[in-house]
């Protein structure tokens, strides 16, 4: 993420414009397969993917992109969509079913 509020705001606005263009696409079966594959790769991608188990310190926020992936994946694979959403929000479900906030400074193995 660039330094300075203006530069950060510009990056976020540019990302939102690009996501807006993606929203205009009609998701056919082939695009849905690609979207599902991309979500799975991002979830398994490690710290450099932006939504991996551990977040790389220099990574940018993925909320807008994750929202697009979630809305595109939800009708076709709800389980994958919710895994992505929980990871993007940095919450993990506990054994009791109540979400626990991830401590990013001390990630669990």
Residue 13 has pLDDT above 60, yes or no: yes
Q: Give kind and range of the element (H or E) at residue 100.
A: strand 99-101
Q: What is the pLDDT of residue 50?
A: 76
Percent of the chain with pLDDT over 90: 31
Is the pLDDT higher at 58 or at 80?
80
Instruction: Specify the pTM.
Output: 0.69
- In which domain, by residue range, is 68 found? 5-101
Overall domain count for the chain: 1
71, part of any domain:
yes
Question: Quick one: pLDDT band at residue 59, thresholds 50, 70, 90?
Answer: low
Q: Per-residue pLDDT for 100 more than 70? A: no
User: Domain for residue 107, yes or no?
Assistant: no
Domain membership of residue 109 (yes or no) is: no
The mean pLDDT of 72-89, rounded to a whole number, is 91
Q: Which long-range contacts does 64-68 make (Cβ < 8 Å, 24+ apart)? A: 64/12, 64/15, 64/16, 64/19, 65/15, 65/19, 67/19, 68/19, 68/22, 68/23
For residues 40-46, give the mean pLDDT. 88
């Amino acid at each position: 993420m660039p330094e300075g509020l203006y530069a950060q705001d510009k990056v976020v606005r540019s990302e939102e414009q690009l996501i807006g263009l993606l929203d205009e696409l009609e998701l056919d079966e082939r695009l849905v397969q690609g979207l599902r594959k991309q979500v799975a790769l991002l979830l398994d991608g490690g710290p450099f993917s932006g939504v991996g188990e551990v977040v790389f310190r220099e990574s940018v926020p993925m909320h807008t992109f994750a929202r697009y992936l979630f809305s595109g994946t939800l009708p076709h694979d709800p389980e994958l969509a919710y895994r992505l959403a929980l990871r993007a929000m940095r919450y993990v479900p506990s054994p009791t079913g109540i979400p626990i906030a991830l401590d990013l400074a001390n990630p669990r193995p």
